[in-house]
Homo-oligomer: A and B are copies of this chain.
Amino acid sequence: MVHADSSTFAAGISREEAYTQVLEQAEALFDGQRNWVCNLANTASLLWHAYKSLPAPSSEVNWAGFYVLDPSKPSQLILGPFHGKVACQTIAFGRGVCGAAASTMETQLVPDVDLFPGHIACDGDSKSEIVVPIRIPASGDDGEQKTKLVGIIDIDCAVKGGFDEVDRKYLEKLAELLGKACDW
């Protein structure tokens, strides 16, 4: 298959169908390929083209991509592959929506970013945002099974209320797949 065809989403499909295609295409692309830069780069493209094939508010997504742990500084995220306008390079844990997702390891679904304490305005056009942590299994000091943050999925939308529980459900599935399918 020509790789670019993965980015083609049929007109008139539902959000659930678009996300299902993203997950299926991502899984197929990751088969035999565990490089995280390569896999995040193709996933950002899949997500971008999925949103652009859907009606508003999904079509109003203006940034889709990733931040990962900054190898040069603990408790800091650094920009990974994305589609959209130029973005902030680093984000401290706890700062803004991305930083909150990183420090809490919980999905942040923010209908209005201007009401979010400490929101970082990389792009003033972004009005709502969803950020999903990507975690991998890790063993605690006591041998207890824990999870470790390796990065986040970050999607911005140019209108308020761009995301809901459907986005949360599928992006959390995608984060789980990315955690398992890449060498971090």
Q: Which residues of A contact B (CB under 8 A)?
A: 2-8, 25, 29, 33, 35, 37-38, 41-42, 45-46, 49, 65, 68, 70-72, 78-90, 121-125
Q: Closest approach, in angstroms, between the C-beta of A181 and any C-beta of chain B? A: 13
Q: How far is the CA of A41 from the CA of B3 in the complex (A)?
A: 20
Assess whether A35 is in contact with B4, with CB atoms less than 8 Å apart: no
Contact of A38 among B46, B80, B85, B125 (CB under 8 A): B80
Contact of A4 among B65, B71, B125 (CB under 8 A): B125
Given the known interface contacts A79-B42, A81-B81, the answer about A86 and B4 at a Cβ–Cβ threshold of 8 Å is: yes
Assess whether A35 is in contact with B88, with CB atoms less than 8 Å apart: no
Q: Closest approach, in angstroms, between the C-beta of A150 and any C-beta of chain B? A: 13
Sample of 13 more A-B contacts, CB < 8 Å, known A3-B89, A42-B79: A3-B85, A3-B122, A4-B125, A5-B86, A6-B86, A29-B86, A29-B89, A37-B37, A38-B79, A38-B80, A42-B89, A45-B85, A83-B83
Contact of A90 among B4, B33, B123 (CB under 8 A): B33
Assess whether B84 is in contact with A45, with CB atoms less than 8 Å apart: yes
In the complex formed, the residue of B with least CB distance to A72 is: B35
Q: Closest approach, in angstroms, between the C-beta of A53 and any C-beta of chain B? A: 12
Q: How far is the CA of A71 from the CA of B38 in the complex (A)?
A: 12
Q: In the complex, which residues of chain B have a beta carbon less than 8 angstroms from the beta carbon of A79?
A: 35, 37-38, 41-42
Q: In the complex, which residues of chain B have a beta carbon less than 8 angstroms from the beta carbon of A124?
A: 2, 4
